[in-house]
Amino acid sequence: AASMLATRRKAAGFPTGKTFDVWDPAASSIPAPTQQALRTLEWIRRGENLVVCGPSGTGKTFFLEALGQQAVEEGLRVAWFRLEDLGQLIRAHRTDDSVTRAVTRVLRADLVVVDDIGLLPVGTDAAEGLYRVVDAAYEKRSIAISSNLHPAGFDELMPKTLATATVDRLLHHAHVC
């Protein structure tokens, strides 16, 4: 069981290894009852999404990583990406028309985390990657994102039509905090 846990943890691609063991709930802008509800992971089992937004340095990434680590400990599969990773995925698979297969592989995870949206300008490939993952996961898999912008502002980062379609699907069954 320990080796399976280690395998799932490695496959997730977490950035630092932070868990709730060192999390200070009082230091977060997310209300304590909301944190507790999210930590049950029921939202993942229901295929719902999570959007954590706020300024840099407010613990968004830490909270999502700790949730992801907990999900892995409870037997769920997690995949961690930065937005640019999704852009690289699209570029790597566009040449041989295997983008759909690549996205399908990503969605073998029960929870797909996309970290730090809005920190850097979004390239066309990254915007397409985010849309494709959110669209393919819609009502089937959970997506958790962290952003310094509320999703309503994503049209400042990417083409409006892509932003609108992405945000509509992302927020349809979502917890926003």
Mean pLDDT, rounded, of the chain: 93
Query: Residue 18 domain-assigned?
Result: no
Mean per-residue pLDDT, 70-93 = 94
What confidence tens digit (pLDDT) does each residue in 99-140 have? 989 999 999 999 999 999 987 778 899 999 999 999 999 999
Query: Residue 7 domain-assigned?
Result: no
Is the predicted pLDDT of residue 2 greater than 90, yes or no? no
Taking alpha carbons only, the member of 121, 129, 130, 128 closest to residue 157 is 121
Which pLDDT score is estimated for 113?
98
Mean per-residue pLDDT, 32-57 = 96
Is the predicted pLDDT of residue 36 greater than 90, yes or no? yes
11, 18, 90, 93 from 64: Cα distances, Å: 16, 10, 24, 27
Which pLDDT score is estimated for 153?
93
Least confident of 71-75, 121-125, 150-154: 121-125
Global pTM reads 0.93
Domain of residue 60, CATH code: 3.40.50.300
The pLDDT > 70 percentage for the chain reads 100
Query: Residue 2 domain-assigned?
Result: no
Query: Residue 15 domain-assigned?
Result: no
Q: How far is the C-alpha of 59 from the C-alpha of 47, rounded, in Å?
A: 24
Domain region containing 48: 37-176
